[in-house]
Amino acid sequence: MTDLSKFDPNSVGNPNNNIFGLPFSEEDARLVIIPIPWEVTVSYSAGTARAPEHIFKASLQIDLFDPEYKDAWKQGFYMRGCDKKVLMKSDYLRKEAELYINYIAEGEDINDNKFMCKTLKEVNAGGVFLNEWVYDQTKDLLNAGKLVALLGGDHSTPLGYFKAIAEKHGDFGILQIDAHCDLRVGYENFKYSHASVMYNALEEIPQLKKLVQVGIRDYCEEEFEYIQKNKERISTFFDKDIKEQQYEGTTWKTITDDIVSNLPDKVFISFDIDGLDPKLCPHTGTPVQGGFETEQVFYLFKKILQSGRQLVGFDLNEIGVSRDEWDENVGARCLFKLCSMLVTANPVAG
């Protein structure tokens, strides 16, 4: 057990310790954060593959006192180091994917170019590799009795974790905070694109009984039609509809009650940072005007816990890297809140 008798939670964060300046080892921590340095299929701005290390640095500035989840950190949060092989593979395939995206954006037929055919095959193989790697990492930790958080990286990264959650917990639902539906079918011909993660989850994980999307404000007709055809498994709360309800006098509490009522007993939170107002995450990969304040999202999360539903895990993705570290600062604070909530929602047995 970690000795906290000489640790001062009111002091400056110690960079020689782990995430948030905490002195826990992986063995002693109840919650383990897995950083996923991957951004192969991002379709606009890159940088999120290197977000975890920047978030680690920003996390040292966070006060550990949270009156809502007091002393939750004492159960132990630990973040692993970024896997260099995964990062190197991401960097290589990202360059390949960029060439491919630029090629098809100009209307070229990939069948006319053997190099582009090879590139597409390599990128798709990379997606399979990542899914299997994430599945193996998360499954091992879950089987060891750890709570697990995933820190991206782009939003393609949690699919393997969803599969591990399904094996561990059986039927579950995903609450997706996002500006985008991520329901495209093989976006840009990349099967495991960041823009396809929820489509792949619904198609490949039968234990995923409900996807509840909140804050959606940028989507294509194909995605809208998919939602309409799968209403028994998908409930989408569009940003425009939420705002109009509020303009007409509906409270955020009433809206959150409706959102929570659509969730099953076991809930996984998949938090794409671009679900927030872009003033909070200007360097995210694909920013869209609109979105939430952090406190709105935290209130929704709190209502899930108060409803008696079980929070089984979370991912936090698409955080950008900026010179002033503003995005990383916001991301670190979202991460701390989610970690505190996850351990609080899963009390240690007797």
CA 216, CA 226: separation in Å to the nearest integer? 14
CA 286, CA 306: separation in Å to the nearest integer? 32
How much is the pLDDT for 108? 83
CA 99, CA 313: separation in Å to the nearest integer? 35
Q: Is CATH 3.30.70.1560 the right assignment for the domain spanning 19-344? A: no
259-318: pLDDT as tens digits: 999 999 999 999 999 999 999 999 999 999 999 999 999 999 999 999 999 999 999 999
The average confidence (pLDDT) of the chain is 96
Average the pLDDT over 340-346 and give the result: 97
Per-residue pLDDT band for 107 (boundaries 50, 70, 90) equals confident
**Residue 349 pLDDT greater than 80, yes or no:** no
CA 277, CA 279: separation in Å to the nearest integer? 5
- The set of residues, in sequence order, having a beta carbon less than 8 Å from that of 284 and lying 6+ positions away, is 45, 48, 273, 274, 278, 318, 319, 320, 327
Which tokens go with 289? 């005007």
CA distances from 161 to 39, 64, 175 (A): 17, 27, 14
Cβ-count burial of 307 within 10 angstroms (0-12 exposed, 13-18 middle, 19+ buried)? middle
Give the side-chain half-sphere CA count within 13 A for 35: 24
At 307, the amino acid letter reads S
49-100: pLDDT as tens digits: 999 999 999 999 999 999 999 999 999 999 999 999 999 999 999 999 999 9
22-55: pLDDT as tens digits: 999 999 999 999 999 999 998 778 899 999 999 9
